[in-house]
């Protein structure tokens, strides 16, 4: 089987919020994180502003793709994460905000942070003590260290340790 190139993550943590927060009003909204379905894939494509090939992630046998939605509004996907449960941690392959949650005109802050906190929670649930890792773009290594409390362990690999994972989980959940 052909080995896939690891993707460098380049999501930005705009703000650590309680759940997600409307940028204009400051109102917080409770969220749900659930696995995407094949029906969801009809709206998750580059025509709708998504950058990554989420269908390929969905079809990858070792990965689980999750969507972040606002409680009682499951049809509008705020962000996505592709996670793989490894023998001793959870690896984040992809994290992406919906196009309307990017840049200066974004609607909600806290989407990426919410998805990262979920990866930490999944790590605890699967018996990996909250350990999470991912590959960062070089220019974002310091950003993740400052905003998330990640540890840079060499090259572009970042890790979230149990104490930091617990803080993120408590913030969001």
pLDDT in tens, 136-163: 988 889 988 998 999 999 899 999 999 9
Query: Within a 13 Å sphere around the CA of 77, how many CA atoms are in the beta-carbon half?
Result: 27
Residue 141 counted as domain residue: yes
Alpha-carbon separation of residue 9 from 21, 51, 52, 59, 138 (angstroms): 23, 12, 11, 20, 10
* Torsion angle, alpha carbons of 105, 110, 112, 116, to 10: 180
Residue 27 counted as domain residue: yes
pLDDT score of 137: 87
**Which residues are CB-neighbours of 146 under 8 A, at least 6 positions away?**
none
pLDDT score of 59: 96
pLDDT score of 2: 44
Residue 54 counted as domain residue: yes
Query: Under a CB-based contact definition with an 8 Å cutoff, are residues 149 and 160 in contact?
Result: yes
pLDDT score of 1: 43
Enumerate residue ranges in the chain where pLDDT < 70: 1-18
Residue 1 counted as domain residue: no
Report the distance separating Cα 165 and Cα 173, nearest Å: 12
Strands of 62-167, DSSP E: 63-70, 73-85, 90-97, 108-109, 132-135, 151-154, 157-160
Count of residues making up the chain: 173
Residue 111 counted as domain residue: yes
Whole-model pTM: value is 0.88
CATH number for the domain that contains residue 95: 3.40.630.30
The residue segments making up the domain with residue 38 are 20-172
Count of structural domains, the chain: 1
The 10s digit of each residue's pLDDT in 63-81 is 999 999 999 898 999 999 9
């Amino acid at each position: 089987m052909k080995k896939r190139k690891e993707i460098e993550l380049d999501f930005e943590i705009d703000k650590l919020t309680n759940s997600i927060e409307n940028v204009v009003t400051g109102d917080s909204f409770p969220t749900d994180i659930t696995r995407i379905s094949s029906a969801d894939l009809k709206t998750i494509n580059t025509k709708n502003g998504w950058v990554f090939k989420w269908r390929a992630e969905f079809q990858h046998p070792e990965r689980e793709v999750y969507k972040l939605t606002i409680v009682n509004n499951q049809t509008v996907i705020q962000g996505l994460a592709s996670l793989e449960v490894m023998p001793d941690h959870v690896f984040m392959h992809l994290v992406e905000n919906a196009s309307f949650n990017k840049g200066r005109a974004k609607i909600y802050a806290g989407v990426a942070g919410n998805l990262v906190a979920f990866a930490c929670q999944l790590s605890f649930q699967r018996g990996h003590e909250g350990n999470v890792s991912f590959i960062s773009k070089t220019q974002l290594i310091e950003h993740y260290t400052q905003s998330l409390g990640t540890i840079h362990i060499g090259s572009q690999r970042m890790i979230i340790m149990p104490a930091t994972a617990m803080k993120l989980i408590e913030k969001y959940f």
